[in-house]
Amino acid sequence: MTQLSGGAFLPSTEEIEREAATWLAKLDKTHNGKGVTVDLEAYATQDPEFDLWLKASVGHRVALLRLLSVWKRTGRLQSATPANESLAEVLPLWSRVGHSKAWGALAASILIIFSLISMNYYLAEPAMTVYQTARGGQQLVPLSDGSRINLNSDTRLDADMTAGERIIILERGEAFFEVSRDEKRPFKIYTGNEVITVLGTKFAVHRRDHGVEVAVTEGRVQVECLSFKCDSTASTAIMTAGDVAKTDNGHLLVENKGVDAIARDLSWRQGFIDFDQASLEEAAEEFNRYNAIELVIEDADIARIPVSGKFRTDNLDAFVRFLTEGFGFQVVRKDTQILVFR
């Protein structure tokens, strides 16, 4: 444990590992050792103590996500335990007895898995640098390794450039990454229940309410869904230029939209929104990401009408004129809303 100048203490790497393992055991026990339908964000809303622990430190989230990643790749620790013992019974006991105690094949199998994790796999309390933008804002961030991040509107992320790896925690919003190649230091982006791993490439990550969207413009990117809702046979995807991956409530889908289509979706980097047969409802949602005035489509029928065009992100009035003059829709302006209807 590290003591700060004011007398407070930071937890050690081993303590963070043990806490993360204990929480993983509790998650497993909650679901009777089946390891299914567990979602960190959803569980945090149900357990205030877990919510506090998860929010107390970015290092907590990273440690737990890393443990989940190893757990999924090894077929979950369940496969190494006897049939009559759940993971919930094993991990707390392992934490209590310590690494020096050997108790048969069970302890040996757990030790093998935990040794894989402990070999430079966790970090202690990371010295994260926070970057964030307000609604309608953008920020270009140069990192110490030569990489660059372009933050879109209303985005927050935490960055930690360590000697062993480069860690980004995308708390909310969207960002475009230009990653300098460094085979000795993988570049990892953690979102709610996903981890994106690259060596050197260009791609965008958009964290949404129920998942994440990744679009690659250059190079190769690996997307791994860590939620137990994910299909274990299709929870990881390798993407190349033109590919777009989406996770939604545990489902990971990849399609090739092409580099030109992705470039159009990333027009926000130049201050534009470029619609190509988007529904009016989708267009309204996109404008609402950038403006304090909310565009509300009152009529469900017109919400499905496709629209195309290129507009400034900060020029909502131009889009409203497009709707009134081009489609003949009516609008009513309130203090914080513009209502659109037939």
**18-46, pLDDT tens digit by residue?**
787 788 777 766 655 544 445 677 778 88
In the predicted model, what is the mean pLDDT of the chain? 78
d(CA 72, CA 64): 12
* Token reading at 150: 């372009």
- The identity of residue 331, as a single letter, is V
| Residue-level pLDDT at 113 | 52
Phi, psi of 12 (to 5 degrees): -80, 170
| Residue-level pLDDT at 194 | 82
pTM: 0.71
- The identity of residue 91, as a single letter, is L
3-state secondary structure of 162: coil
| Residue-level pLDDT at 10 | 44
d(CA 211, CA 61): 17
pLDDT surpassing 50 at residue 108: no
Question: What is the percentage of the chain residues whose pLDDT exceeds 90?
Answer: 46
| Residue-level pLDDT at 3 | 41
Of 268, 269, 244, 242, which is closest to residue 254 (Cα–Cα)?
Answer: 244
pLDDT bucket at 87, cuts 50 / 70 / 90? very low
pLDDT surpassing 80 at residue 151: yes
* Token reading at 45: 């809303």
Looking at per-residue confidence, does 167 or 133 come out higher? 133
Side-chain half-sphere of 117: how many Cα atoms within 13 Å? 27
d(CA 304, CA 317): 21
β-strand pairing of 337-341 with 221-225 = unpaired
Return all residues near 303 (Cβ < 8 A) that are at least 6 apart: 279, 280, 281, 284, 297
pLDDT bucket at 71, cuts 50 / 70 / 90? low
**226-271, pLDDT tens digit by residue?**
665 555 556 789 999 999 999 877 688 999 999 999 999 999 999 9
pLDDT bucket at 88, cuts 50 / 70 / 90? very low
* Token reading at 199: 């060596």
| Residue-level pLDDT at 54 | 81
| Residue-level pLDDT at 84 | 41
Task: With beta carbons less than 8 A apart as the criterion, state whether 94 and 22 touch.
Answer: no
